């Protein structure tokens, strides 16, 4: 390895995102938890009427129009919001501001792999604590570890389970560091953690427009927390991290909650149907409150099925790692896409 990089960068493996096909490739894409429905018509309207004058100038450094729309939609003051180029950027800001050499970053596993990548980039100490049987949160161990940053994704990925509110409250009350509640999939769930943000200064809820709002391509996410906690994140944020088009698109999407909720309802109905079809094929299917299902084929031949599905143009997510390599994570698509997947699995039996 070359000497250009810091030793810890040489030692780390980079994050590997889900496969993204070129636009126009005829595949059924069920590997990155995108929304199968188009963005709100209000978003299309913004794109059609976008004034080039806004491209000539730098955008508002705080994406004020977008923050105001989030504030309206969620009923939180605008100064309790920080926006990012995808929620990944907000996670990155948190790590940059709060973690570093000699500081611990703690989370239960399996979960979103980017937490590990970001921690290694920042040379912080990584503490991974396995989830118990049936996705029981290792509450005591997390409290004892007392990270400078503790990440909890809820609904979690790849399991789809929701962490009980009481566990989150206990964590918030007992940790001296920051509790990051990553709610990327909250739009498909029955509960959320916003109340805890109001209750505890050390809690931040992270949201994205990539899933519920069908806007993975524009890269928009945000965090909601007490301004005292946000003050450090603002110090490490790029001045113009959200471009003018994204800011206007994000504001339009947040202002159309009815459309987002209607799409999420359709996904939830399809999720139940898909789960039931897969159970008929003798898959073990974990209960999910996200827009995907974690499933285990009866024969445990997840990698074989992943490859065979890919050959017929259906992409699902396979994780070649202990405890996950006998499972697949399947994004809920339209009913038609889900049916094509189920038929392909029947053909493989």
Ligand X SMILES: Cc1ncc(COP(=O)(O)O)c(C=O)c1O
Give the full edge-to-edge strand order of the sheet including 221-224: 81-84, 221-224, 203-208, 178-182, 149-153, 104-109, 125-130
Closest by CA to 248, choosing from 45, 38, 91, is: 45
Contact status: 192 vs ligand X (CB under 6 A): no
Minimum distance, C-beta of residue 184 to ligand X, in the bound complex (Å): 4
- Write the interaction track for ligand X spanning residues 14-53; mark x where CB under 6 A is met and - where it is not: -------------------x--------------------
Residues in CB range of 176: below 8 A, 6 or more apart: 146, 202
* Interface pick for ligand X out of 153, 278, 294, 328 (rule CB under 6 A): 153
Cα(31)–Cα(175) distance, rounded to whole angstroms?
Answer: 34
Contact status: 150 vs ligand X (CB under 6 A): no
Minimum distance, C-beta of residue 286 to ligand X, in the bound complex (Å): 16
Sign for the CA dihedral angle at 63, 58, 96, 115 comes to positive
Segment 106 to 145, residues that bind ligand X, using CB under 6 A = 112
Minimum distance, C-beta of residue 74 to ligand X, in the bound complex (Å): 16
Minimum distance, C-beta of residue 17 to ligand X, in the bound complex (Å): 9
* Interface pick for ligand X out of 59, 86, 108, 250 (rule CB under 6 A): 86
Minimum distance, C-beta of residue 224 to ligand X, in the bound complex (Å): 14
Query: Do residues 296 and 325 lie in contact, with contact meaning Cβ atoms separated by under 8 Å?
Result: no
Closest by CA to 25, choosing from 332, 325, 317, 313, is: 313
The single-letter DSSP state of residue 180 is: E
- Residue (204 or 345) nearer to ligand X, CB: 204
- Residue (122 or 210) nearer to ligand X, CB: 210
Which alpha helices (DSSP H) does the chain contain, by range? 7-11, 41-48, 53-56, 64-74, 87-98, 114-121, 139-145, 165-174, 194-199, 227-236, 244-255, 257-280, 302-311, 335-348
- Write the interaction track for ligand X spanning residues 164-183; mark x where CB under 6 A is met and - where it is not: ------------------x-
Tokens describing residue 112: 């979103």
- Write the interaction track for ligand X spanning residues 206-245; mark x where CB under 6 A is met and - where it is not: --x-x-----x----x------------------------
* Interface pick for ligand X out of 31, 40, 122, 157 (rule CB under 6 A): 157
Tokens describing residue 283: 């898959």
Give kind and range of the element (H or E) at residue 160. Answer: none
Q: Is 307 left (phi over 0), alpha (psi -120 to 50) or beta?
A: alpha
By CB under 6 A, the count of residues binding ligand X is 13
* Interface pick for ligand X out of 31, 35, 40, 87 (rule CB under 6 A): 87
- Alpha-carbon dihedral 140, 145, 147, 153, rounded to 10 degrees: -40
Only segment of 46-54, 80-88, 123-131, 193-201 that touches ligand X (CB under 6 A): 80-88
- Residue (129 or 345) nearer to ligand X, CB: 129
Minimum distance, C-beta of residue 5 to ligand X, in the bound complex (Å): 24
- Residue (86 or 297) nearer to ligand X, CB: 86
Closest by CA to 85, choosing from 204, 197, 196, 249, is: 249
Only segment of 61-69, 83-91, 95-103, 281-289 that touches ligand X (CB under 6 A): 83-91
**Residue nearest to ligand X according to CB distances in the complex:** 86
- Residue (82 or 345) nearer to ligand X, CB: 82
Cα(214)–Cα(253) distance, rounded to whole angstroms?
Answer: 9
Cα(341)–Cα(309) distance, rounded to whole angstroms?
Answer: 8
Contact status: 184 vs ligand X (CB under 6 A): yes
- Residue (88 or 277) nearer to ligand X, CB: 88
Applying CB under 6 A, which residues contact ligand X?
33, 86-88, 112, 153, 157, 182, 184, 208, 210, 216, 221
């Amino acid at each position: 390895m070359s000497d250009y990089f810091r030793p810890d960068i040489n030692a780390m493996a980079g994050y590997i995102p889900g496969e993204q096909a070129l636009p126009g490739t005829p595949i059924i894409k069920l590997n990155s938890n995108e929304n199968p429905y188009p963005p709100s018509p209000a978003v299309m309207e913004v794109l059609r009427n976008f004034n080039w004058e806004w491209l000539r100038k730098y955008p508002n450094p705080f994406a004020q129009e977008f923050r105001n729309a989030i504030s309206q939609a969620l009923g939180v003051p605008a100064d309790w919001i920080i926006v990012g180029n995808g929620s990944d950027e907000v996670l990155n800001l948190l790590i940059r501001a709060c973690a570093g050499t000699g500081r611990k970053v703690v989370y239960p596993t399996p979960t979103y792999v980017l937490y590990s990548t970001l921690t290694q980039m920042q040379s912080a100490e990584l503490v991974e604590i396995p989830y118990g049987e049936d996705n029981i949160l290792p509450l005591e161990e997390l409290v004892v570890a007392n990270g400078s940053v503790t990440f909890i994704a809820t609904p979690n990925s790849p399991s789809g389970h929701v962490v009980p509110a009481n566990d989150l409250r206990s964590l918030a009350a007992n940790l001296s560091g920051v509790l990051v509640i990553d709610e990327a999939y909250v739009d498909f769930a029955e509960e959320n953690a916003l109340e805890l943000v109001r209750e505890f200064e050390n809690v931040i809820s992270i949201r994205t427009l990539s899933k519920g709002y069908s806007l993975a391509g524009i890269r928009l996410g945000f965090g909601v927390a007490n301004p005292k906690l946000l003050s450090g994140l603002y110090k490490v944020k790029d001045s113009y991290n959200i471009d003018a088009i994204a800011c206007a698109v994000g504001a339009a999407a947040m202002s159309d909650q009815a459309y987002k909720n209607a799409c999420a309802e359709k996904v939830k109905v399809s999720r139940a149907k898909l789960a039931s079809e897969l159970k008929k094929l003798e898959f073990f299917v974990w209960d999910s409150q996200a827009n995907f299902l974690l499933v285990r084929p009866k024969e445990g031949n997840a990698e074989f099925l992943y490859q065979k599905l890919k050959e017929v143009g259906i992409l699902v997510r396979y994780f070649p790692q202990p405890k996950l390599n006998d499972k697949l994570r399947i994004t809920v698509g339209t009913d038609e896409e889900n049916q094509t997947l189920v038929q392909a699995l029947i053909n493989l039996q």
